[in-house]
Every structure is written in C-alpha cells, then in structure tokens.
Structure 1
Amino acid sequence: MTLVMQLFLYLSAYHAGKKLHWSMLNSVLHAPMSFFDTTPLGRILNRFAKDIDLVDSALPTSFASSLNTMISVIATVIILIYGSYFAIIALLPLAVLFIFIQRVYVASSRQLRRLDSTTRSPVYSNFGETIQGLSTIRLEIIANVLTLATSLFAVLMRDKLSAGTVGLIITYAMQITHSLNWLVRMASDIETNIVSVERVNEYSQLESEAPWEKPDVKPPPHWPTQGGIQFIDLSTRYRGGLDLVLKNITIDVQPGEKIGIIGRTGSGKSSLCITLLRIIERTQGKIIIDNIDITDIGLHDVRSKITIIPQDAVIFAGTLRFNMDPFGTYSDEEIWNVLELAHLKRRTFTVENGLHYQLTEGGENLSAGEKQLLCLARALLRKSKIFVLDEATAAIDMETDRLIQQTMRSAFKNASFNNCTSITYDIG
C-alpha cells in the first residue's frame, strides 16, 4: 500500500513538474523584449534551476514523508486512546497547542523561503535554521507533557490496566515525540517549497508578445515576392513610459534596393532593425512589406521571411552542416555553393572534415572572422528577399571585412539574389 501510494505521489509530481516547467519555458520564450530589459538573467536562471529543482525533488519527498508520518501519528493516537481513554483529556489541549505552534512556524518559514529565494542570502538561511530549532524545542516540550500525562493516567488506572498495556501506552507516547517533530518539519517544508511553485507560476503568466501565428490572417505562401519595405510615420519606444527612440520616421525602400543607414551611437539604427522584426512593437505608424502591414500577421510569418546578420555571430554546438541547415531543408550541393561564395570552402576545417566538422558552443574553435563568414553563408543559403546586416563587420579584422563585402557584391550579382532588398547598418 505504501509503495503504491509513493509511486502515485512521485508520478503525479513528475507530471506536475513537467507541466510547470513547460508552461514557464513557453511563457519566457514568448515574453516581450521589455521583460528581458528589466529582468536580470540570474533571476530567470534561478527560476529554472533552484525553483524547478525544489518542485521536482523536494516537494514529492516532503509530500510522501508527511503522509507517512501523519498515518503513523494517527495510529499512535488511536493506540493511546485505546489503551487509556483518559489520554484524550491530555491530547485535545495539546493538539490545539500543537496546531497553533505549527501555524506560526510555517507562516514565518514560508516568508523566509520567499526572501531566501529572492536574495539567496546566508543571513536568511541561518535565521531560518534558528527558527526551525525553536519549533523543535517547543514540540519536544509538548511531547514530554503528553508522555507525563499518559504516565500519570496509567498510574491512576493501574487497577484496570495490565502491565503490558501500560508499557505499550508509555512506549507509544514516547515515540510520538519523533513523529510530531518530523510531521511539523515535513509540513513546513511543503509550505515553504510551495513558494517555488508560486514563483514558477508567476513566470508562467508573463505578458506575452504578439501571437506567433494568426491562422485567419496568413500572407501568401511565397510572400514577400518583391521585398519592398515602407516605414510610414513610424514611432516606437522600448517599453511604456520611456521616451520614443524613433519618431515619425518615413522611408520607402524599393524592391531590390541596397541601402545603408549611418548614424552615431544611440541614433536609432538598431531600433529600426528590431522594429522591423517586431522585437519591439511600433507606437504609431506602419511598416508595410509588399503591401501587407506586418502588424496584421503573426510574428513567425514576419521573422521567418527576413534574414539578419548580427554583429555577434551565433554558432551552436554541432556539425557544420547542422549550423548551416538545422532543419535539413537544403542539399549538400547548395550548402557547398554558399560556403564557396563566402570564401569558406577552402578553409582548413572544411577541407579536412567537410560538412561533418564539429563546432563547439559559440564557435570557440573558429576565429571571429570565420564565425561571421559562416553566419553570412547561412544567411545566403536561405535566399530571403530581405537581408538586414546590423553592423556585421564592426568586430572583425580588415581582411574579413573585405571578404564579407566581396561576398555580398558577388551574391547580389547572382540571379538568386539580385532582386533582394538589403538594409545595412554602419558597414564600411
């Protein structure tokens, strides 16, 4: 029976923890950029690490142990009452006192856990241990009073009780000390660890960015076919209450145009880029791509049609082929063609291992220039109608800068790319 009960508890906890983790992960991944601007990375990691660990490991153990101990306490009380019904006179007031102390302790320990989860300060940990010790001392006193009362009743009723019954009653009265201590500890652990569920649930209900897809409003399958972009009276800010970073911007980028946007630091160049990708939403105005207002369609439909090459190259742990084509959409021949276009086909790592060359996390086994050229090749592989280069050559050497510009010029002469629209920020 105990095995079945524990199996049920652990399976229930497993499914509950899995559901909570997925709900929080989905909520964080779809949170607006303003959330990441105002929330430290350590706080987010703390929810996914410490709080999820408590939900997965500590809570199931506390529930199972608390249930077992409660059954043991109930059985002990029944035996005490069966041996001497006068024991109920001592049990009732002591039970009231026990519940009072337990509630006071749990309330304080729950607040301490909430503070500890927020600050991770050793001061709160030490204070929590001190409070826990005080509750143990008080419960020892209650249990000793119960043992004394049971012994007195046994003496008063010695004519009606056998020696064996008296021994049984006193033994169980002494045993209840440990059970009560453990029951309070497990009950308080449940109460304090529930704070982690509360914190996880808080991140599961974050404000979400715009819908990922709108099934009832879908662009044509091959949209955009031309790549024309219109910024009409566009104003935007990073979040409510802040000043506008773009104000009344109007730009008409014709299909196939290659334009550069130049300005000092903080002038709003990158803000225009992330507004185009709807990482931040416009405050007023419109962005129209091939006669479709991008705010009328889902985020995926917008972002999947725009290729961006950022300043900081993003490389994943895995093979060269996986980094070029993670979804297995393109043939090896197509990948080799863009690698040659990006001047990577004859690099040492491709000559020796081909597309099976293993890249480390962040591309640590590549130079900064090679990483940027790899990102360029990956972007060219998609053959998007709209290319955005956001200071793609700002952190690389002059030779790689030359190769990137040569690659872009060669690509735009190719029939596959000469009709695409390119927006470049601060490229020399």
Structure 2
Amino acid sequence: MRDDTPSLPEVHRSVAVPNAAGFLRKLFAFMGPGYLVAVGYMDPGNWATALAGGSAFGYTLLAVALTSSLMAILLQALCTRVGIATGRDLAQLCRERFPKPVAYPLWLFAEAAICATDLAELIGTAIALQLLFGIPLIFGVLLTAFDAFLILWLQNKGVRWLEALVFGFIVLIFGCFAVQIAYSDPVWGEVLRGYIPSASIVTNQQQLYIAMGILGATVMPHNLYLHTAVVQSRAVGEDVAAKKEAIRFASLDSTIALSLALLINSAILITAAATFHASGNTEVAEIQEAYQLMSPLLGGTLAATLFAIALLLCGLNATVTATLSGQVVMEGFLRFRLPPVMRRLVTRLIAIIPAVIVTWIQGESGTAQLLILSQVVLSMQLPFAVIPLMMFASDKARLGALVAPRWQVVLGWTIAAVIVVLNMKVLFDALLGD
C-alpha cells in the first residue's frame, strides 16, 4: 500500500532548482545532500578502524579504503537515481513492495545499523571532549545526549543551513589532517603502493577483520536510506528529462563529497602508519593512546590538538546523519513519525547503554574494541540494504527510462556479492574461534 507522505516532509522539495542556468549554478543548487551522506564516511568509527589498520599494517589497508569508497560512490549514485526516479525513499519502497515478514526484519536491521553508528559517534565525541577539556569519559558519554537539541535547532533553520554547517565542518576536518600529514612526513612511495590490493587482506584474519570494519565504516547501511530521501529536498521537474538531469547533478554532488571523505579517511590511516607503525607502535587502536603518542613522536602539541578537534567535529557532524537516517527509517518502514528531538534521544539512549557499561567496567581500554565491533556490525547489516537497493535500481518495469545503466547494475550486484562473501568469511572465522 502506497503512502504519499514524502520523506523528511519538513525539507521535501524546499530547495529551488533554476530552470535556465549554467553548469556551475545548477551544480551548486544540487550540492549538499552528498555532504550530509559523506559525513557518515568519516565518523569516529572510521577513526578507530583506520588507526588500528594503519598502526598494525602500515599502508596496506589503504587499498581497502579506496575500494570501499569506490563501492560507496556507485551505491550512493544508485540511491540518487532511486530517490529521484520514484519519489520514494528506500525504506518506503521496502515497505510498499515487500511482504511484512520481509519488511519488518529489514526495518530491525536498519535500526540496528543506526544504533551501531550512534554508538561510535557518542564514544568518539566523548573521547574528544575528554582530550580537549578533561571531561571524564563516562560523563562525556552522557553529555552527548544533548546534541539532539542542536540538530532540532538546525532542522528548524532549513536544510541549506544544515548542509552549510556540515560542509564547513568537513573543510575544517580536512585542514586539520593536512597539517597532521605534514607533521608525520609519510613515505609517499609506500603510500601509493598501499592503494594496490594485497592478498594478505583476505588471507590474514586480523587484517580481514579490520578490513571489514573499514568497509562497514565506509559503506554504511543507513546512508543508503538517508540519501534516497534527502535528494528529494530539491524541487525538480516531474518529466523524464528533468529527472535525468537531477540524477546527473545529484550523483556528481555525492561523488565529489565522497572523494573528499576518501581523502580524509586516507589521511587518518596514513597518519597512523607514518606516526605509529613506522616507530614500532603497531598496536595503537585506542584514540586516546594515539593522541598521547602524537606529541612526543611528532615533536609538538599542535598535531595532537588538531587531531582531537577533528574528532569532535566528526562526532558532531555524524550526529546529523544518524538523526536524519533515524527519521527516514522509522517513517518509511512504519509510517510512524516522532518529533526529531524525541527520535534522536531514543536512538542515543539505546546506544548510551552499552557505552556506559563498557566505560564503567573497562574504562578507556574497551572503547577501541567497541568502536571496531560497531563497524563490523555495520558491515554485517550491509547486504540487507544493498540488495533491496539493487532490486529497485534495476527494476526497468517501474523505473522505465530512468533505470540504472547495465554497467552500474552489474557492478552493483557484484559489490553486493562481495560483501556477502566477506561477511560469511568473518562469521566462519568467528565460529571457529579465530
């Protein structure tokens, strides 16, 4: 049964698109949703996996970061196509086209992914508050519940304000890491070789586990739901030509934004490899430990301070993604709408419980394992979002002239198969106790 209530109704078709304008002006009109999505590709969960991978294996896992980003660029482009072509988000399509015994488990998997993301965000934000202001970790975890009010205020200002703030934070984060790379002085020949895939990524179980964490931290399930909804904030024409143009510009927007996210993710891993792995510190997984080691290893406090500032900005930025994704998933699957601040508080309170338990029992020592585990959980949820997306993007009977090109369909289904196979490998290793 179709429900014609739009996704994110408070911002639906709220951004005007000029009919007769040059390329750059048109692109500017469509710029924004890609950066809201890109935020999820540089959240604190990415930090944990990149730090662990860089310190343990040097530049080897740069190939995973690159491959994951290329996967994400294609999948998010398919999201823009599905959202613009159908006028529906992924959650609504799943509810309308799948029987309830299929749709409801998909909803639960999506909610689990959002909670796993939120867990990483609140731990990362709490760690940043501790590093910058000395706030005890457990109190920082509790304080993160109040970021809901920031999101509510921003949403009331309009989606363009939200997009502008997110873009500004991303530029600042990029600037922080540019300085850190300059301080760490990596061997650029080794960096470039790191982007070439190595067989050890699959054969070495520890590398594979962290690689799956990087994959889960990069190609995030809830971002697929969010992107199909947020692209509908642009007031595009209803004819096929207008929708084709909108798909082209929206895909370009997300590709540029995700390319910037790849640079930031690579910078985290490169910094970890050049600073920690090169100095023999091969087991740096805790963000706090990385912060403490940076000053003596890099000969100053500036790099460490910028590291903590960038972490705080990433945590705040990712809060936007989790809040909007939560709204899209709940409204799309259940047709049940909560006020954004209430939705945010419910999601965050669910994530706070395991974070408080771990920090209470294990203190700082358990946060890295929890962060990496949350990203592996995200990877395990990926097939339940990617497979429905591919079904809808390749449905010529419903999309008609707007159906995805054959090459995108083939690559998309290949990505889905690779994700499923790698997930089965990790589960198999876990069952064997490795």
Higher relative contact order (CA closer than 8 Å, sequence separation 6+): 2
Higher radius of gyration, 1 or 2: 1
TM normalised by structure 1 equals 0.20
* Higher helix fraction (1 or 2): 2
* Higher strand fraction (1 or 2): 1
TM normalised by structure 2 equals 0.20
